[in-house]
Structure 1
């Protein structure tokens, strides 16, 4: 009997490339925008970081994939109680309606306290996960702010975000609540203020501004 042919990998490759393609527009001008922000803060840009200085959480290892879960390796999963955000060090499970996550190609995951922390991570993966790059990311998800159940995960690329509302998330300010539909996001903005933005409209300049508002420079 002939040996079976090795499995093809187009799906995996597409998953690993999705984030790089999705961020291509948003990343334009990152260095200039961040450099200007850093200059206003009296800091020198370093490695295109979105935060000044070296105040980075170094105690948040990725959570390994559990085959016993029965879920595909790149599917969204429940936030573990012990997981810490690699950007700010908070525990995302304490405010699951604000949580976000990235899944790496081998199934490991990082969990974030808010969509803002996710965006900060995506714009500088190597800063928060030394040795990794955007190409290592297979999927990213945000929690639908309109729902409380654990299954309310949305592909981060297709979600709609509200900037400038009076909603107070884990960092109290500088938040980007996420919604599955534009109508839901617009309804929230009408009640709580703010403007609806797509994934690619959350650019480097906005991230830098919100990071300062939310107090994301964080030490442990």
Structure 2
């Protein structure tokens, strides 16, 4: 499996087309088997959505998301604290919103860190394989298509 890339100023979100660093919350990157560069996502939820959408490439070599248990803060989720999304535990249905006002699937490398997050913010733990497609692709704020929820983050 290829190593994750370090998040930098050149990272543009696959679905929003904006600089990934402009958004708070967990980020994601996907590396395809035949393309040796990262596809960046402004949220972990968008990263997972890529894997569920029928029109996106399926030759995925690696899927990485921010380990929010090791993140400096929600606003600065870190440039190099990546974890394999397939091994992460995710908190869904929490009170915390992603960088563009959407519901977020918040990734952690440990269940203990996820439980600490739940104690403060609510939610429940699911594995990558058990992330509900309705939650990831649903209308909980901005979804993968770039539509924005009222009161969401505006780059106007």
Is there any run of 5+ residues in structure 1 with no aligned partner, and where?
Answer: 1-14, 16-73, 128-132
How far residue 93 of structure 1 moved from its aligned partner, in angstroms, is: 2.2
Structure-2 separation of matches of 1:97 and 1:88: 15
How far residue 96 of structure 1 moved from its aligned partner, in angstroms, is: 6.8
Match of 2:66 in 1: 143
- TM-score, normalised by the number of residues in structure 2: 0.79
Match of 1:178 in 2: 107
Pairing 1:104–2:32 present:
yes
> 2:23, 2:100 within 8 Å by CA — same for their partners in 1?
no
Structure-1 separation of matches of 2:19 and 2:95: 22
Structure-2 separation of matches of 1:137 and 1:105: 6
Pairing 1:215–2:115 present:
no
> 1:164, 1:194 within 8 Å by CA — same for their partners in 2?
yes
Is there any run of 5+ residues in structure 2 with no aligned partner, and where?
Answer: 73-77, 148-156
> 2:90, 2:127 within 8 Å by CA — same for their partners in 1?
yes
Structure-1 separation of matches of 2:122 and 2:85: 22
Match of 1:90 in 2: 18
Structure-2 separation of matches of 1:173 and 1:95: 11
Q: Larger Rg: 1 or 2?
A: 1
Q: CA RMSD in A?
A: 1.9
Distance 1:192 1:95, change over 3 A: same
Structure-1 separation of matches of 2:17 and 2:141: 14
The one-character-per-residue Cα deviations of 1:36-58 (angstroms, maximum 9, x if unpaired) are xxxxxxxxxxxxxxxxxxxxxxx
Match of 2:89 in 1: 160
Match of 1:169 in 2: 98
Aligned residues: 139
The one-character-per-residue Cα deviations of 1:3-50 (angstroms, maximum 9, x if unpaired) are xxxxxxxxxxxx5xxxxxxxxxxxxxxxxxxxxxxxxxxxxxxxxxxx
The one-character-per-residue Cα deviations of 1:65-98 (angstroms, maximum 9, x if unpaired) are xxxxxxxxx2111123132211232321234751
| Greater share of residues in helix | 1
| Greater share of residues in strand | 2
Structure-1 separation of matches of 2:3 and 2:11: 17
How far residue 154 of structure 1 moved from its aligned partner, in angstroms, is: 0.4
